[in-house]
Structure 1
């Protein structure tokens, strides 16, 4: 059996292992234009896209302690967490929004529930998707995100 066949044979088990560590509940939202806020200003509106399991992982930065990529949110540069949000490979593929670089231009995920081994400080945190890398033999979808 060659290496590709061996990996393909193990992939279902590896995906199951990856998903067993996804103990957060994430609510997904897609951008749906603008609406008027209570003060009369235009604010982004989001449509719910359902929930999925996931996990947050702050990826190690190549070449040092500082992030190598930033995204602009409300005029402020925020570090991109490369592969920072993991969702099942079978989950709906989110739309990234780095082109606009502002809140309202991409999918967002909010942590609505945590597992018994998760950090309670994660509850309620929001992440904007800025990249959806793809790869062969994936066990999970690792999203590049900016914490809002």
Structure 2
């Protein structure tokens, strides 16, 4: 990975960090490393082949490579303490949201308005993902 240009290397690191996080939550989102790799391979490594049989063989090998990059993210790229804290915070918030997320008439699914979010935990999780641990969450006006 160090042979990649800086921008490409940092982009790959961020993408695979996110995919790694998603696969650690596969018990809740059904997105295993294999599923994520199958979805992302056509975008990350488009096939130059025009023959369908060759293209299938090519892409199945790429799926294994991308799957391994997702699974072994922590071995390939060293996470900073800040990244680890942010991931732990996101996981805690997400688990709390998932344990309390069945929609009902009184408790709708998450939705944002200009005034704030219907579900504050989901807003916190989304903000933590976008802005990291330094994001300030203000109470939602009622």
Structure with more strand by fraction:
1
Normalized against structure 1, the TM-score is what? Answer: 0.24
* More RCO (CA 8 Å, sep 6+): 1
Higher CA-based Rg: 2
Structure with more helix by fraction:
2
Normalized against structure 2, the TM-score is what? Answer: 0.25
